[in-house]
Amino acid sequence: MTASTKSALMLFSTLLIGMLLGSLITGAVNNRRMRSLAEMRSARGLAYYLEDVVEPESDEQREAIRAVLDEAAPKFSEVMLESREQMRALTDSVLAELDPLLTGEQRERLEERMRMGPRGTPGGQRPDDERRRRRPHPEGERDPGPPPPPPPGAGQDEPSPPPPTGTGT
């Protein structure tokens, strides 16, 4: 085996090991984030999060904070459940309105995506395909977005005060 072949093989091996380690580390980080998010979705998880943010300075303060958060936990759960139910009802309503407007292929694609969940795939990652990338407007125009805010003082009955005149000191 020549020196250049050995060098190329070592370079390729290093690259392969780096890619493998990068994938494993990325997977571990993503799993940790997903667990953290799942914990946050529970009422007690949200209470723990708030307690961590506040960083109680004494045991007495920690106990007082926990008492308030424990009392609020069932309310958090109730609001989260209601929110999910409202979102599900709204989604069903929008899908029902869209149904007559869609072609068969569009309907199938939408149904498949809805079965997969909000992130696009069963694993929770967004797919990297052409449909997900932003496309320019068909006529080449961009959506101008909301109008700019009115200038200060516009629409007021009183005249705006004159700008300050200073010497710049």
**Which residue has 């979102």 as its token pair?**
87
Judge whether 77 lies within some domain.
yes
Judge whether 81 lies within some domain.
yes
Same domain, 68 and 30: no
The dihedrals phi and psi of 127, each to the nearest 5 degrees, come to: -70, 150
Same domain, 25 and 83: no
Same domain, 56 and 88: yes
For 10-49, the pLDDT digits (tens) are 999 999 999 999 999 998 888 888 877 776 667 677 777 8
For 75-87, the pLDDT digits (tens) are 888 888 888 899 9
Same domain, 45 and 79: yes
Supply the pLDDT for residue 33.
82
Supply the pLDDT for residue 97.
93
DSSP of 126-158: PP-SGGGS----TTSPPP--SPPPPPTTTT-SS
Judge whether 103 lies within some domain.
yes
Judge whether 112 lies within some domain.
yes
Supply the pLDDT for residue 12.
94
CA dihedral 114, 116, 118, 124 (to 10 degrees): -170
Same domain, 85 and 64: yes
Judge whether 125 lies within some domain.
no
Judge whether 155 lies within some domain.
no
Q: Which domain holds residue 47?
A: 41-118
Considering only CA atoms, which of 128, 130, 28 is closest in space to residue 120?
128
Same domain, 70 and 97: yes
Supply the pLDDT for residue 43.
66
| Number of domains the chain is built from | 2
Same domain, 71 and 108: yes
Same domain, 47 and 100: yes
Same domain, 26 and 47: no
Supply the pLDDT for residue 96.
92
Supply the pLDDT for residue 7.
92
For 100-151, the pLDDT digits (tens) are 999 999 999 988 888 876 555 454 444 444 444 444 444 444 444 555 666 6
Supply the pLDDT for residue 152.
59
74/68 Cα distance (integer angstroms): 11
